[in-house]
Amino acid sequence: MGNNKSHSSLLNVEEKPYMSNTSWTLHHAAFKGQPDRKVSLFKSTQSEKSSTLEKCAKNLMLHRHPNILKYVASWTAGGHTFLATEEVTPLAHVIAKQTPLQICIGLQSVLKAVNFLHDKALSSHNNICQTSVYVTPEGYWKLGGLEYLCRFSDLSARFLADSHQGRYERGISPNEESRIPQPPSAIDQYAFGILTEEVLKTRDEDVPGMADFLHTAITQLQAVDCKLRPSIETLLEHSFFTHEFITIHNFLTELPLKTSSEKQTFFRDLPCSLSEFNGEAVASQLGVLLLSRIVMLDSTAQQHLLPRILTPKSCDDSIGLFAEQTYRDHISPRLITIFHVRDIQVRLTLLKYFSMFCDMFTIPQLNSHIIPELLVGVMDLNDELVAATLRALADLVPILGAATVIGGKRAKHFSDGRPKVNPVSKAGRKS
């Protein structure tokens, strides 16, 4: 952990917090000169030598996992502890707008993080609740709140008593004050049952296995007898987390681990599978994964999947998977990000379908993001890239006008040599 003010000087921090509790305030922040490089900044409200936020920072730095809140930096200054993480929003701020499918994927992410802590770190989280879960701009749930994390071997009645006040009261296992739950993992199993009940109890059942999983959370995970609570591994095998949409999501997140044969079969079948689901759900939940670098560089995906992803569905016979409004809401923002990637093969893939989706951007998006990147491509040494970029610029002329696309002064150098046709005067027409 740093012990100087240099970290603070690198950030532009919004003074007003967007969340606070007795231990810390949470602020939006971005690196100076890099407004697109955003982080979330936690600032302790305590000035004692070892704050709960400092403990959280140390545990986040030590326990790295795709489903655990990503640590960026931490330091002390002015009697406060600061923790910078990836940009996130507290789950409590967005849970009301989350669909059952988003919650399903999110709960699975939390379970995977807890399973990692139990199985690999041999530790319990001890405060699983909504305030310990954060959501990234892409919609991924991340487990944070590691200030009360404790190794199983160090878990004691004293530790549980000392941490009781700061933990979520409703998520504390019954009779914890009289004896340490056995096995110790039962602490997190009970709290996860409470979390599941809170986020699912008012939702309509439109995800396979949801009602049964909610019943499991209430009747088994919250059982007074710790030994009756199902293990995290058992929960991950529940039908709520093994239906087709989740299977697709998991395969996409685990692509680097798949064989070439597995990826070929997956990408050939994927367009048909995705067409069975609601386009809005697919775009919002899978859009980032479907347009990841590893997908865009895969030859089978380029042949079978990307034409369906990059082509908007403008009519019933269109090959596209996403209606135009869905495309603008979820796919276009991702494409803007990808246009900033300086990889020839990725750029050529985008340019191949540019004429199909260029009108899915707003005029400001084209002027601020797309045009500048295309002009960089024109100046590249790769002739194929230059040729494809020039064709893309031509596609923008009807949208932005030639003056915007090519710049500079324009003049009329060509005449129209077509024979002129005299229009029939109204007087000469028959009434």
pLDDT for 75 beyond 80: yes
Q: Which amino acid is present at 307? A: P
Confidence category of residue 6, pLDDT binned at 50, 70, 90: low
The domain segmentation of the chain, as residue ranges, is 6-87, 90-242, 271-406
pLDDT for 55 beyond 70: yes
What does the buried/exposed string (b/e) look like for 41-75 if buried means 16 or more CB atoms within 10 Å of the residue's CB?
A: bbbbbbeeeebbbbbbbbbbeebebebbbbbbbbb
User: Averaged over 57-80, what is the pLDDT?
Assistant: 94
pLDDT tens readout for residues 170-183: 999 888 877 788 89
pLDDT tens readout for residues 187-207: 999 999 999 999 999 887 778
Give the pLDDT confidence score for residue 417 in this predicted structure: 82
> Average model confidence (pLDDT) for the chain?
91
91 Cβ partners below 8 Å, 6+ apart?
A: 106, 130, 131, 133, 134, 135, 141
Confidence category of residue 428, pLDDT binned at 50, 70, 90: low
Angle (CA) 64-67-69 rounded to 5° is 65
Beta-ladder partners of 71: 85
Give one word for 132, left, alpha or beta, with left for phi > 0 and alpha for psi -120 to 50: alpha
Q: Which of 73-87, 139-153, 178-192, 404-418 has the highest mean pLDDT?
A: 139-153
pLDDT for 152 beyond 50: yes
pLDDT for 80 beyond 80: yes
User: Averaged over 326-345, what is the pLDDT?
Assistant: 96
pLDDT for 431 beyond 50: no
pLDDT tens readout for residues 84-121: 999 999 999 999 999 898 999 999 999 999 999 999 99
Cα 80 from Cα 27, distance rounded (Å): 14
Give the pLDDT confidence score for residue 134 in this predicted structure: 98
Give the pLDDT confidence score for residue 4 in this predicted structure: 47
Class of domain 6-87: alpha beta
User: Averaged over 317-321, what is the pLDDT?
Assistant: 84
Tokens linked to 231? 């293990």
Is residue 152 classed as helix, strand or coil in its secondary structure?
Answer: helix
User: Averaged over 20-38, what is the pLDDT?
Assistant: 88
pLDDT above 90 covers a percentage of the chain that reads: 73
pLDDT for 407 beyond 90: no
pLDDT for 296 beyond 70: yes
Distances (CA, A) of 283 to 14, 99, 173, 263: 31, 13, 38, 20
User: Averaged over 309-314, what is the pLDDT?
Assistant: 93
Q: Would you say domain 90-242 falls under CATH 1.10.260.40?
A: no
Give the pLDDT confidence score for residue 316 in this predicted structure: 64
Q: Which value, to the nearest 10 degrees, does the dihedral of the CA atoms of residues 105, 257, 307, 297 take? A: 130
Q: Lowest mean pLDDT: which of 123-137, 231-245, 357-371, 395-409?
A: 395-409
What is the architecture, at CATH level 2, of domain 271-406?
A: Alpha Horseshoe (1.25)
Give the pLDDT confidence score for residue 317 in this predicted structure: 66
